[in-house]
C-alpha cells in the first residue's frame, strides 16, 4: 500500500515539474516577444528622426519647429534725409528732395527746389567720365581688359563683366553711360593715359572749367559718396555733355549687345523713359547709392521747349521717373513764362562725405 502511494506521489511531482517547465518556457517567449517589439519601436522612432532632420518642415516627436524670421537692417538714410531736405514742400509734390528745371536756350529757371544743396551724385558721375573719354579722342576700337582693380570694393556691387573680359573702349563707354556699368567706367579711367590719378584730376579740372564750383570727383563710377555736386552744377554738366553727339547717342540708346567669349550679353538702358514715345530725350543719366538716393538728369523737349531736368535724392526706385512725369505734365498744361515760374529753394550748406 505504501508502495502504491509513493508511485502516485512521484507521478504528481513529475506533472508539477513538467507544468513548471512549460510555464517557464511560455514566460520566456512572452519576454522575447516584448523585447522584439521594443527594438522595432526604437528602430522606427530612429528612422522617423532621420527623416524629420531631412525635412525641417515636418514634426519631430510631436513638436513643430518654429520658422526662422530674418530681420533686415533698416535702409541707410541718404545725405539729403540726414540734412532734412525732404521736409521742404513744393507745388508739384515731388519725391526728390532736390530738383531743378531750366530752359536750355534762355537759361531761365522754371522750377527749383534745394538747387544749391551739395549731395553725393552716384552714377551721374559717369556723365563726366564720358565727357573726358569722348573729348580725349582716344581710339574707340582699342581693347580694354577688366582686371581685379576694376572690381567694386566700395559697395560690393556685382557685374556681368568678369575679370579678364576684353571689350573695345567704345563698348566700355556705351555700357558705362547706358547701363551704368561700374567696371566699364572704372576700366575707362584706369586705362586712360597717365592712369587713374590723371583721369580724376581731369574730371575736376573740367568741372572747374565749366564753372561747376560745388562739384568734386574722387573716382569715375560714382560708387563713392565723396563724388558730390549740386543741381545747378549738374544742369551745367548736362548742357555741356549734350553738345557731344557721341554722348547724346550712347546715353539715349535703349539697348546694346556685346560679345563676351562665346556668349552675347544684352544690356538695357537704366532709364525706361528712353523707350517711352511720349518723351523726346536728347541726353540722360541715372544714378543710385544709398547716400545719394535715386538720381536722374535729362535734356528733353517738352511743349516745344528744350529743357534740362535734375532730380536728386528721390525717395523710391521709380519716384525719380514719377517726378519727371509730374514736371512734364505741369509744363504741358501750363505754358511757362517768367512771371509764372515756380521757385522753391532752401539754403543748405555742402555736406562732406
Catalytic residues, which ones? 123, 126, 180
Answer yes or no: are the C-beta atoms of 237 and 222 closer than 8 Å: no
Q: CA-CA distance, 260 to 130, in Å (whole number)?
A: 22
Cell numbers representing residue 53 in the block = 532632420
Short-list 271, 269, 310, 314, CA closest to 289: 314
CA distance 62 to 214: 67
The SS3 of residue 349 is coil
- Per-residue CA distances from 82 to 85, 119, 293, 313 (Å): 8, 11, 12, 11
Question: What gap in Å lies between CA 152 and CA 165, rounded to an integer?
Answer: 15
Helices 125-136 and 182-190: angle between axes, nearest 10 degrees: 40
**Ramachandran category for residue 61: left, alpha or beta (phi over 0 → left; psi -120 to 50 → alpha):** left
User: Could you tell me if 244 and 251 are in contact, meaning their C-beta atoms sit under 8 angstroms apart?
Assistant: no
Q: What are the angstrom distances between the C-alpha of 184 and each of 163, 180, 284?
A: 11, 8, 18
Q: CA 3 → CA 7, 11, 16, 60, distances in Å?
A: 6, 13, 20, 72
Cα dihedral value 314, 320, 323, 329, nearest 10: 170
Q: For Cα atoms 265, 221, 188, give the angle at the middle one, nearest 5 degrees.
A: 70
> Are the C-beta atoms of residues 295 and 271 closer than 8 Å to each other?
no
Amino acid at each position: 500500500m505504501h508502495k502504491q502511494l509513493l508511485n502516485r506521489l512521484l507521478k504528481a511531482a513529475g506533472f508539477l515539474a513538467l507544468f513548471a517547465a512549460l510555464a517557464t518556457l511560455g514566460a520566456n517567449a512572452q519576454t522575447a516577444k516584448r523585447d522584439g517589439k521594443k527594438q522595432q519601436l526604437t528602430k522606427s522612432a530612429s528612422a522617423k528622426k532621420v527623416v524629420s532632420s531631412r525635412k525641417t518642415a515636418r514634426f519631430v516627436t510631436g513638436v513643430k519647429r518654429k520658422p526662422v524670421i530674418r530681420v533686415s537692417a533698416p535702409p541707410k538714410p541718404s545725405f539729403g534725409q540726414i540734412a532734412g531736405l525732404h521736409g521742404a514742400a513744393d507745388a508739384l509734390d515731388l519725391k526728390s528732395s532736390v530738383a531743378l528745371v531750366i530752359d536750355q536756350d534762355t537759361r531761365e529757371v522754371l522750377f527749383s527746389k534745394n538747387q544749391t544743396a551739395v549731395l553725393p551724385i552716384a552714377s551721374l558721375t559717369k556723365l563726366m567720365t564720358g565727357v573726358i573719354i569722348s573729348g580725349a579722342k582716344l581710339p574707340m576700337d582699342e581693347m580694354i581688359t577688366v582686371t581685379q582693380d576694376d572690381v567694386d570694393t566700395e559697395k560690393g556691387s556685382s557685374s556681368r563683366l568678369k575679370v579678364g573680359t576684353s571689350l573695345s573702349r567704345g563698348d566700355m563707354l556705351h555700357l558705362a553711360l547706358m547701363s551704368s556699368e561700374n567696371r566699364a567706367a572704372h576700366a575707362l579711367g584706369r586705362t586712360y593715359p597717365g592712369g587713374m590719378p590723371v583721369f580724376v584730376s581731369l574730371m575736376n579740372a573740367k568741372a572747374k572749367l565749366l564753372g561747376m564750383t560745388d562739384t568734386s570727383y574722387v573716382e569715375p563710377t560714382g560708387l563713392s559718396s565723396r563724388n558730390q555736386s549740386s543741381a545747378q552744377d549738374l544742369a551745367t554738366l548736362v548742357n555741356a555733355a549734350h553738345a557731344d553727339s557721341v554722348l547724346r547717342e550712347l546715353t539715349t540708346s535703349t539697348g546694346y549687345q556685346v560679345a563676351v567669349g562665346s556668349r552675347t550679353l544684352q544690356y538695357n538702358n537704366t532709364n525706361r523713359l528712353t523707350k517711352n514715345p511720349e518723351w523726346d530725350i536728347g541726353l540722360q543719366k541715372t544714378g543710385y547709392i544709398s547716400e545719394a538716393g535715386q538720381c536722374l538728369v535729362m535734356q528733353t523737349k517738352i511743349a516745344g521747349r528744350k529743357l534740362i531736368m535734375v532730380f536728386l535724392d528721390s525717395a523710391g526706385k521709380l519716384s525719380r521717373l514719377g517726378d519727371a512725369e509730374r514736371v512734364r505734365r505741369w509744363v504741358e498744361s501750363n505754358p511757362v513764362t517768367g512771371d509764372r515760374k515756380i521757385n522753391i529753394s532752401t539754403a543748405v550748406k555742402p555736406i562732406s562725405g
